[in-house]
Structure 1
């Protein structure tokens, strides 16, 4: 049983890199990075549904939800890394 986990990981990695890029923009407040990652994840979720046969969602609403969760997971992964390293 394949859940299309590769596509979800891909969205998480892409949004993580976008979040890191946003962090380098000095004029952008860090509190907006999770929102940006969630929105980009939502868009990538819909794109993934349209382009990948094994994407875990088959309708737009679920694709948006999968994308948002994947985008927010990228910011969570960043925070876990920070908390464990003590920075």
Structure 2
């Protein structure tokens, strides 16, 4: 796969959208243990949608697009956890 055809701009966009969705879900009564699953699933959907919207994204391979989306969605969860660890936020700082 050629890195120039990856649609590099879509990858951080998927991560940001998943991060914002996770923050919105945290405001609900849903248990936070489901956030990585939700972010991963949302990332997969957005990755596949990016294949339709951006023809160069993942060379129109839906499995690769879903995998990139899942990784981007899970990166949103990881970014949130890294921020909490670096700022000293504990379990109470969800």
TM-score (normalizing by structure 1): 0.92
**Per-residue deviation at 1:55?**
1.5
Match for residue 10 of structure 2? 7
Q: Segments of 4+ in structure 1 off by > 3 A? A: none
Structure 2 runs not aligned, ≥5 long:
90-94
CA RMSD of aligned residues (A): 1.2
Is the counterpart of residue 63 in structure 1 residue 70 in structure 2? no
SS of 1:56's equivalent? helix
Give 1 or 2 for the bigger CA radius of gyration. 2
SS of 2:75's equivalent? helix
d(CA) in 2 for partners of 1:24 and 1:54?
A: 36
Cα shift readout 1:43-81 (whole Å, capped 9, x = no counterpart): 000000111133234211111101100000000000000
TM-score (normalizing by structure 2): 0.85
**Per-residue deviation at 1:84?**
0.3
**Per-residue deviation at 1:5?**
1.7
d(CA) in 2 for partners of 1:74 and 1:4?
A: 18
d(CA) in 2 for partners of 1:35 and 1:47?
A: 18
Structure 1 runs not aligned, ≥5 long:
none
Structure 2 counterpart of 1:53, from 31, 52, 55: 55
